[in-house]
Structure formats: C-alpha cells, structure tokens
Amino acid sequence: MASSFGESLKVSIYGESHGNGIGALIEGLPAGEIIDFEKLMLFMERRQGGRNSLSTSRKEPDIPEFVSGVLDNRITGFPVCIRIANTNTRSGDYSNLLKNPRPSHADYSAFVKWNGYADMRGGGHFSGRLTAPICAAGGIAKQILERHGIFIGAHLATIGSVSDEMFPMQPSPQLFEQIAQKAFPVISDACGEQMQNEILAAREEMDSIGGTIECMITGLPAGLGDPMFDGIENRLARVLFGIPAVKGVEFGDGFGLSAMRGSQANDPFCVDEAGGIRTATNRNGGILGGITTGMPVRFRIAMKPTPSIGITQNTVSLETKQNTTIEIHGRHDPCIAQRAVPVAEAAAALVTLDVLLTDGKL
C-alpha cells in the first residue's frame, strides 16, 4: 500500500499534519534489540523545526510513544506501533487555502483523487511533518545497524548554487557523527556559512530555495540486494521519492556518469591490503547490478524549494473555477533540504536493515 514499504522490515506511516497524531507501524524489527531512547530523541531532534534561525518556528516535542512491540526498551518481535502527538497545530493558518490550491503542493492532485474528502489542513498526510515517524523508525534501525558495524551519514551537498565539500571515498563514523552534531549539517563550515546566506537571502525576499543531500552507507558486505527491480537502488529510490519535495535520486556519480566515457566511469577492481577485493574508485556508488560491491553505498537526492512562499502566486479557485491569487502565510522553512538530512539517513537505514534481514545477514 501507498504509505508502507519494506519486505522483511515493513514500515507503514500514518497521520496528518493537523489530526490527532502521526506515527509508524513497524513489523519485522529483530526481537531482543535494545532501543536507546535518549539517542533516538537526539536523532529525531535533528529534523525538528526551530533548531536554528533558518527554519520554521513551529516547534513540537515529537516524543515517540511506543504503543506496542517494545517491553523494557527491548524489541519483542511483535509489530511496533509508534505514536507522536500533534500538539502545535494552528488549523486557522490553512483553512482558506483549501479552496485555492497552493502551487507545487499536493492540494489539487489530492483534491481530485479523494473528491475533496482528504484532510489537507497543513498538507495532511503529505506534510513534511510525516517525516517525524520515518525518523523514529529509521533512528531505531540506525542503532541496530551501528551495533553491526554499519554507519550512515548525510550532509547538505548544495543549497541553490552553493556546494559543500563532498564525502571522501571512505568516510569514517566519526565524520558522520561530527556532521550530525552541527546545527547546520555540512562538512565544511565555510561552505555552510555561504549556504545559510543563500537561505537567508531567499527568506528575506519571502521566497524559498532548493538543495541536494549526499548520503553514504559504510560497512556493508558485498553481495547484498537483488537484481532488476529489487536492487539496492530500486529500493532506496522507492523510499527516497516518498520524502516530500524529493524530485531526483542518483547513485554514485549518477547523472555525472552519463557525460563520461566508460574508461572514466568504470571502477577497476583491486586487491586491498587485507587481501580482500575492492574497487579503486567508487563512481558506481557501491552498487553493481543492484547488488552491493562492498564499497560504501553513495546516493544524492534533489529537493525542490519549499513550495510555500510569501510571494503572491497565481492559482485557481476550486469553488468558482476562476483564476485567482494566493499568498501563503504561516510558519514555513525557507529551505526544507536542511531538515531532510536526517530523513535521508532514516530512509537509508530502514532500507539497509530490510535488505540485511531479507538476505539473512542479520
């Protein structure tokens, strides 16, 4: 179904921005694994509003309640239901928008699909707020993976036309940790400052700006995944395109590969110091034929600018079927990409754990 993914580890997301609550139902987490609740809260805080001056002023505690499947901080093996309360909703902010669909939001397409019955206040089930349960589930997956030597990290690769440094070929868990602790998740703080200026400039003009996120998974063995439509790429892409505002996904050098010669793009195999097999370069992002090569998995996602902007935009009235205009007020991030960094990690963690469980490697 639409709001679920995963094979051995099945994650279903529920809730709306302004409903009673949001959450996730997770089947297949390995029994006996411990949840470090404090660490989970730290991870979830990374996506929350109000972390720095650049994001929305809507602040919600986002404390995941474990309704089922957890006893004394341990996974029992039964389905884990997580619930996060919606405490800070101001539906008044949106009420009159429902009749005039906001450009580049799902308002219109959802209106048509559900004949107007969808609860689209605050974006409803499409709201970026729904990434909170993805992070709750993904944060648990991340903890389990780390116990098995698998680490996941991400950073803002670009904001508008400004770039961060790129990850090295074999980033360390320490590097991931350093970025995770920053209020603005970049490798180079100098680049980060320029990026923040870019965001501030957009905000000042009541506009928004897009960005890209680079994410890596290290510590994976070779031979994971499946051919054709269940490769690591396919599974990651299916989930990544479920993060609101993601419009592009590429692996390794991705679109860059399409401009290369084979002699540049191919990753030659070589014997490493320990006698194992690796590739000298990693332009394919650790995946060949959908299956891991043992090199770090690397991908990049493109996020469009926040659709909600204060500038007056053209739209139509669904009631009168006439052209009209709209100005969107309320609490919005001028750049959603920065808050999506842990979401990309969460999605990667859930897919990785699912593949490991499916392949009987955990």
Task: Give the largest Cα separation in the chain, rounded.
Answer: 71
Note whether 21 binds a copy of itself by CB under 8 A: yes
Instruction: Yes or no: say if 216 and 175 are a contact pair by the CB < 8 Å rule.
Output: no
Residue range at the interface with a copy of itself (CB under 8 A); choices 52-60, 139-147, 181-189, 239-247: 239-247
Task: Tell me the per-residue interface mask from 79 to 118 with a copy of itself, x by CB under 8 A, - otherwise.
Answer: xxx-x-----------------x-xxxxxxxx-xxxx-xx
Amino acid present at 319: E
List 42, 183, 190, 280, residue binding a copy of itself (CB under 8 A): 280
**What is the torsional sign of CA 93, 61, 135, 33?**
negative
Note whether 297 binds a copy of itself by CB under 8 A: no
Strand partners, 42: none
Note whether 257 binds a copy of itself by CB under 8 A: yes
Phi, psi of 303, rounded to the nearest 5 degrees: -115, 130
Note whether 331 binds a copy of itself by CB under 8 A: no
Q: Which residue's structure tokens are 């490798």?
A: 187
The C-alpha atoms of residue 291 and residue 349 are separated, in whole angstroms, by 16
Q: How many residues bind a copy of itself (CB under 8 A)?
A: 148
Q: How near is the Cβ of 256 to a copy of itself at its closest, in Å?
A: 8
Q: Is 324 helix (H, G, I), strand (E, B) or coil?
A: strand
Q: What Å distances lie between residue 282 and 127, 258, 356, CA to CA?
A: 35, 15, 21
What tokens were used for 275? 């006698």
Q: How near is the Cβ of 78 to a copy of itself at its closest, in Å?
A: 4
Decide whether 152 or 337 has the Cβ nearer to a copy of itself. 337
List 178, 265, 330, 331, residue binding a copy of itself (CB under 8 A): 265
* 154: nearest Cα among 129, 128, 135, 140: 135
Q: How near is the Cβ of 312 to a copy of itself at its closest, in Å?
A: 10
Q: How near is the Cβ of 127 to a copy of itself at its closest, in Å?
A: 10
For residues 162-201, which are near a copy of itself according to CB under 8 A? none
Residue range at the interface with a copy of itself (CB under 8 A); choices 37-45, 124-132, 147-155, 183-191: 124-132
The C-alpha atoms of residue 39 and residue 270 are separated, in whole angstroms, by 38
Note whether 1 binds a copy of itself by CB under 8 A: yes
